[in-house]
Amino acid sequence: MLEFQPKFRLLCLVFVLSVTFSAAFVSRAGAGPHEPAAPAQDPVSSPQATAGQPTTGQGAATAGPQVSAYVWSATHSGSSLRLRGSVPSEEDHRTILGIVKAHFPDLEVEDRLKIVAGAPSKEQWLGAVSFGLKQLAHLKQGSARLLNVGLKVDGEARSASDYAEVKKALEGPLPTGLSILSDNVKPPMADPFIFTADLGPDGLILSGSVPSEEARGRLRVLSRQLFVRPTQDDQLQPASGAPKDWDDAVTAALRALSRLESGKVALSGLAVTIEGVAPDKGTAAAVSYQLRRDLPALFSSSESIRWKEAAKEDRLIARVTNEMSSGGRRSWMPGEPRVLSLLRSQ
């Protein structure tokens, strides 16, 4: 009995090892000779044949590489225009270069467009490219980018009129199929950034630069609230380069001007000047104090405000001087009877 047990244990160990070896061999050998082979994958439906990868098949060699997102861009910087991205064919390539030449006759063109299949509808895509280049022609510097038929436009307009043209075009109507993904067009730079408001007996004239159409609208509303005048003449033009807290400074300046009977306020960069006629001396002093108090810290002000009585004396002196000049009587001096009679007549 003692000799049997070691032999039995040895036989069990050999059996276990043989079973383990057989299982490992089967797993490495794969399917047996009678197991059917896996079917070949259809290249169109296979996971590798996505929109962003070329497939084998008829026409693949002539169509060129394909992309999932069809990208094209034109960038204007200085005296050059850079073309990047994809174009469907040589014919379309020549068409685009012709459009570029029409809009940018004096620029050096760096052309790195590549023939790539997979573009949207030819008519839609070429229409989108033409539209993008037309908007880019209004920019001093910037770019137009197409993602399929979605357009992004960035840059600084050449002038206020160019800015208005681009904004109007991007609002629509757009070419068929085109959508605007991003509009980051800025008005032209103004340095210094100047704004003036001139208050006369019949109306208020606003002129100079304003940061945006939204700011322009806010100034119109504020002016109607502050000034009771028959007319308001808006001659403002959108521009970039407004100082920080510009809106608050203009608001403070217009509020001060509204307390005068006539006058003018001007902002040039961070400097604010106000001049005009107040109804009385107290109002003149109060307007100067109010403007200095309400202006943002970065801005400085200078005031030249007179009041009605002082302005009346100035007009009287001007009349006397004119009468002396026209009469040719040099003996007319202040204190003479003629001058006294003029004073009493006021």
Domain termination site, one of 169, 186, 203: 186
pLDDT, tens digit, for every residue of 263-312?
999 999 999 999 999 999 999 999 999 999 999 999 999 999 998 875 55
Determine the pLDDT at residue 316.
Answer: 60
Q: What's the pLDDT at 202? A: 84
* Pick from 29-43, 63-77, 81-95: least confident: 29-43
Residue 78 falls inside a structural domain: yes
The total domain count for the chain is 3
pTM: 0.64
Sign of CA dihedral 172, 175, 176, 181: negative
Cα 142 to the center of its chain, rounded Å:
10
Residue 268 domain flag: yes
Same structural domain for residues 318 and 301? no
Q: Are residues 301 and 337 in the same domain?
A: no
User: How many degrees, rounded to 5, is the angle at CA 149 between CA 148 and CA 152?
Assistant: 95
pLDDT at 228: 82
Tell me what pLDDT residue 341 has: 55
pLDDT confidence band for 62 (50 / 70 / 90): very low
Instruction: Using the 3D structure, point to which of 186, 211, 242 is the last residue of a domain.
Output: 186
Q: Are 256 and 250 in contact (CB under 8 A)?
A: no
Query: Same structural domain for residues 252 and 213?
Result: yes
Same domain, 80 and 163: yes
- Listed residues 160, 186, 212: the one ending a domain: 186
Do 151 and 163 have their domain in common?
A: yes
For residue 204, CA distances in Å to 194, 230, 238, 261 come to 17, 9, 19, 11
pLDDT for 206:
96
Q: For residue 313, what pLDDT band results from cuts at 50, 70 and 90?
A: low
- For residue 322, what are the domain limits? 311-345
**332 shares a domain with 279:** no
